[in-house]
């Protein structure tokens, strides 16, 4: 995929809602390469390799779909808490590929382990770290049910390893993030800094995702890299917590993919002293930075929803519990009627009322208050005395819309993020494989 960086940075309309493009920094102990295995037949980059020359701790969360990619099955069978590489391919999901998909990963892992070991043998200091196939993770995204192109990927492994570079600048990160895209219109990148004890820590993250996006992740991949020295068990715990209010707080079309994966890798290059447990105060700043980074990436995914023109936040407050607020928020956000109203810039708040009611939650209709931004549309079981159709129609022209539902029955709250449904979404998905 050829993407002009200057043009990307000038593309303000969508990106302005999420802030300026962040320039990611170097993560010591990480090497990256992205090349084309010609999986698309167009020469665009479709393979990306992340190599941890001295190994990395990691934590990962995967889709809850009962049918999942062979790549995810492979990762779940890896019992090591210390790995050496992650290989990502696009175009093919390696899902419902059976034995062929399994054997393909085994063959690729053997070739990759061999080539990485040979690379290690070329070190000037004469030391060689042997890379084993069970120290390699995989991620795949693309079309479900098509034969996995194992031989094409395997044939590209020597070039992929040869192109590894340990100096990451903005172009390297941009190239990596672009190589994992499918229907995305732009790469997703985010960067944060924090401190653990008295040490400066970096976090770099990339993601892909545009459609088949729903809670429990959604046809999305995201990878976070840090130079901190954090044990795998704590990384996974922190990741699961951060995912709950980021990637599991977004929906494009209510569909949960077979290939979802979010992973964090720590190269352990910045020594931060012993961490005693996941609640160690030393980790607080890191936890906040991770949450901020993942939420940034999650919002970028929604902002790039297939055919999307509007970024929509649905905020439910004063529910009996956070779970109740979450259920109602997603009941609204996943409604095709609500999403098409957003696309048509129609302030049809009756569709919000419908979404609240169909959630199955026990509510008090006469207490509900609904706002579009700062504009009140409903309260006390009826249309608000402040209702102003002209102001609402003007507000609906914005590219970022806030819907707030105040239930006034408790203290629970939740925000979810979605987008509108346009004709472009339909057109894209009626011809997805082409």
The one-character DSSP state at 165 is B
Buried b / exposed e along 380-392 (16+ C-beta atoms within 10 A): eeeebeebeeeeb
Helices 322-333/350-358 angle, 10° precision: 130
**Which residue in the list 219, 256, 267, 418 is annotated as catalytic?**
219
Question: Distance (Å, rounded) from C-alpha 241 to C-alpha 339?
Answer: 28
**Which H or E element spans position 237?**
helix 232-244
For 217-256, letters b (16+ CB in 10 Å) and e give: bbbbbbbbbbbbbbbbebbbbbbeebbbbbbbbbbbbbeb
Evaluate whether 71 touches 258 at the Cβ level (below 8 Å): no
Q: Which two tokens stand for residue 93?
A: 């999901």
List helix spans (H) across 48-96: 70-76
Beta bridge partners of 382: 379
Specify burial of residue 377 (Cβ count, 10 A radius: 0-12, 13-18, 19+): buried
Tokens of 278: 């996941």
For this structure, is 219 an active site residue? yes
Answer for the pair 352, 405: CB distance below 8 angstroms, yes or no. Answer: yes
Of 153, 207, 156, 215, residue with least CA distance to 182: 207
The answer to whether 92 and 69 have CB atoms below 8 angstroms apart is no
CA distance 27 to 226: 6
Residues with a known catalytic role = 219
């Amino acid at each position: 995929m050829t993407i002009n960086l200057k043009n990307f940075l000038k593309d303000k309309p969508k990106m302005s809602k999420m802030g300026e493009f962040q320039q990611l920094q170097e993560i010591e102990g990480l090497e990256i390469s992205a090349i084309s295995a010609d999986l698309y037949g167009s020469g665009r980059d479709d393979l990306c390799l992340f190599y941890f020359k001295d190994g990395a701790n990691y934590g990962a969360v995967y889709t809850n779909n009962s049918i999942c990619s062979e790549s995810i099955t492979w990762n779940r069978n890896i019992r090591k808490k210390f790995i050496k590489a992650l290989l990502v391919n696009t175009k093919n999901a390696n899902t419902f590929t059976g034995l062929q998909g399994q054997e393909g990963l085994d063959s690729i892992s053997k070739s990759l382990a061999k080539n990485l070991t040979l690379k290690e043998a070329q070190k000037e200091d004469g030391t060689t770290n042997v890379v084993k196939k069970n120290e390699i993770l995989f991620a795949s995204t693309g079309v479900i049910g098509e034969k996995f192109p194992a031989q094409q990927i395997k044939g590209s492994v020597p070039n992929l390893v040869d192109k590894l570079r340990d100096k990451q600048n903005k172009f390297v990160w941009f190239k990596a993030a672009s190589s994992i895209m499918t229907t995305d219109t732009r790469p997703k990148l985010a960067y944060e800094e924090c401190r653990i004890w008295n040490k400066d820590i970096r976090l770099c993250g990339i993601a892909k995702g545009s459609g088949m996006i729903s809670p429990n992740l959604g046809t999305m991949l995201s990878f976070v890299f840090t130079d901190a020295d954090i044990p795998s068990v704590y990384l996974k715990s922190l990741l699961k917590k951060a995912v709950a209010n980021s990637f599991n707080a977004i929906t494009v079309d209510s569909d949960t993919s077979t290939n979802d994966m979010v992973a964090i890798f720590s190269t352990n290059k910045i020594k931060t002293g012993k961490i005693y447990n996941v609640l160690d105060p030393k980790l607080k700043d890191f936890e906040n930075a991770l949450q901020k980074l993942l939420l940034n990436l999650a919002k970028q995914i929604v902002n790039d929803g297939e055919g999307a023109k509007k970024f929509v936040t649905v905020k439910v407050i004063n529910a009996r519990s956070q779970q109740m607020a979450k259920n109602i928020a997603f009941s609204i956000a996943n409604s095709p009627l609500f999403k098409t109203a957003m696309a048509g810039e129609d302030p049809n708040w009756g569709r919000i009322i419908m979404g609240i009611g169909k959630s199955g939650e026990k509510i008090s209709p006469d207490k509900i208050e609904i706002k579009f931004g700062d504009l009140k549309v409903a309260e006390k079981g009826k249309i608000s005395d402040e209702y102003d159709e002209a102001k609402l129609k003007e507000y609906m022209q914005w590219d970022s819309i806030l819907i707030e539902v105040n239930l006034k029955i408790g203290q629970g709250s939740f925000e979810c993020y979605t987008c509108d449904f346009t004709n472009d979404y339909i057109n894209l998905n009626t011809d997805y494989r082409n």
